[in-house]
Amino acid sequence: MATSTRPPPTDGRTGSLGSTAARGALTMLTGQGMRILLQFAGLVILARLLSPHDYGLLAIVVVFIGVGEIFRDFGLSSAAVRAPSLTSEQSTNLFWINSGIGIVLGSALFALAAPLAAVYGQGEVRSIAQAMAIIFLLNGLATQFRAHLMRGLRFRWLAIVDVLAAALALGVAIGGALLGWEYWALVAQQITQALVILLGAVLGARWRPGRPRRDVSVRSFVRFGANLVLSQVVNYGTNNVDTALVGYAYGAAPLGLYNRAYQLVVTPLSQIQSPVTSVAIPILSKIQEDQKRFSVYLVRGQLALGYPISLGLVTVALAAEPVVDLMLGEKWLAAVPLLQLFALAGVARNLAFVGYWVYVVRGLSGSLFRYSLVTGAIRVLCVVIGAQWGVVGVAAGLALAPWLAWPISLLWLSRVTTVPTRALYAGALRIIGVAGLSAGTTLAVMAALPSMPALLSILLTGACVVATVSLLCLVPIFRRDAADLLEVVVLVTKRKRS
């Protein structure tokens, strides 16, 4: 007889779903914070042991790995997490679908490695692609195990596994770089991380797949996933058209500079959004029928994600030169304008991100796909036009696109489902206002100060931003936002009272 699994209403330690959400977000963000620290440590160390050319070679293959990963997942992890109920037999069938797709994609990348190397004129790409083909299989095997962990709200285990995987992979990369492996150190890092994540997910899921069952239907999961994967492919392809264009037009070394600047901004941004999404989707799925409660959670989610990230990105943009000098070294200073433009792009991308939660929770993958086509076209157009001015022009196009697309995002969403559109627009505008005022004040203060060491410059920039935000909290509307954020913090720290 089929057994059904449902996400528990709480985590056993708190009495409210709000506390569960807040604690889950804190756990995942703490884990991701540790991963970001490891990533920055890796950037600092590996940038001094490896060359831009090494990173450029890996970036060429990673672009194709990323788009393949979308097909490998096929939206089935999100479909499993958001499902009101999920039987063990359905999970089994989804496991075999993900694993089978992983095998097919891994084989395809192995076979296409030589043509890929020929297109980019980089012979090393062939062996890199062939080695990294195994990542598809490892991630395919891990997908439904991780979905079980998310459905069970086992965020602590997920965070531990992700941090451990990142730490071990970084250790392998540093060891390999010291031994003179060059770009192979980066390849080993990617494979090690995928392997550790698989092992950790299997150990923690407390579920084992059986044999696939033809009499158990997963059509609704596949149908949802098919539309979701189409939108993800559009987003990924248009998000990476800049990388492909830079690599093809300008070569591996400029691509290495471009990629490192991108990694400094966009990867940490994604690593914050990803764990928050892992918490938000199962929580919002449980309350989607209560529109008032759903709206409150959504608006607070936007503020909780928007303010810290936007202010962090403003700080990075203002202190771009000392950040690059400290993190990567002097040979990477050409990446400074790229870093500033990517930080600007990150602010707008983050403002529209809560809309993705709504599309997934309410099963609107078809609408998400059509929306992705529009925003993807804007992104490609901006990047292609920007390419007329070189690598910096490409980055400028990438930065402009999300600012053109953001006003469309909530309007589009409001036409297909009920969302607190006015509150979300207002919240986003307040976030932009605080970020803009912080940037202007900090620029004025820093311009009046003499040149100083990189670390001190970064610390003073951050202090100026914090001081400006503190003064803005004297304004009632911003003080209310601060109170909402404080309430989230209270939910995180509050314990159930007997």
Q: How many other CB atoms sit within 10 Å of the CB of residue 51? A: 15
Q: Is the pLDDT of residue 494 over 80?
A: no
- Average pLDDT over the chain reads 81
pLDDT digits (tens, 9 = 90+) for 384-408: 899 888 888 989 998 999 999 888 8
The separation between the first and the last C-alpha atoms of the chain, rounded to the nearest angstrom, is 38
Question: Domain check: are 293 and 229 in the same one?
Answer: no
Q: Which one of 239, 255, 281 terminates a domain?
A: 239
Question: Domain check: are 276 and 371 in the same one?
Answer: yes
Question: Domain check: are 171 and 277 in the same one?
Answer: no
Assess if residue 280 is contained within a domain. Answer: yes
Question: Domain check: are 349 and 401 in the same one?
Answer: yes
pLDDT digits (tens, 9 = 90+) for 45-94: 888 888 778 888 888 888 778 777 777 777 777 777 777 777 888 888 88
Question: Domain check: are 216 and 274 in the same one?
Answer: no
User: CA 81 to CA 7: how far, in whole Å?
Assistant: 9
Assess if residue 41 is contained within a domain. Answer: no
Domain span including residue 95: 50-239
Question: Domain check: are 59 and 194 in the same one?
Answer: yes
pLDDT digits (tens, 9 = 90+) for 180-220: 898 899 999 999 999 999 999 888 887 888 888 888 877 77
| pLDDT at position 3 | 41
Of the chain, the percentage scoring pLDDT greater than 90 comes to 22
pLDDT band at 495; cut points 50, 70, 90: very low
Q: Is the pLDDT of residue 36 over 80?
A: no
Question: Domain check: are 97 and 181 in the same one?
Answer: yes
Question: Domain check: are 227 and 293 in the same one?
Answer: no
Assess if residue 23 is contained within a domain. Answer: no
Q: Which one of 221, 239, 257 terminates a domain?
A: 239
Assess if residue 480 is contained within a domain. Answer: yes
Assess if residue 83 is contained within a domain. Answer: yes
Question: Domain check: are 221 and 319 in the same one?
Answer: no
Question: Domain check: are 157 and 286 in the same one?
Answer: no
Assess if residue 127 is contained within a domain. Answer: yes
Work out how many domains the chain is built from and give that number: 2
Assess if residue 253 is contained within a domain. Answer: no
Point out the least confidently predicted range of 211-225, 307-321, 366-380: 211-225
Question: Domain check: are 201 and 281 in the same one?
Answer: no
Question: Domain check: are 353 and 414 in the same one?
Answer: yes
pLDDT band at 489; cut points 50, 70, 90: low
Structure-block tokens of residue 315: 């700080």
Q: How many other CB atoms sit within 10 Å of the CB of residue 54? A: 24
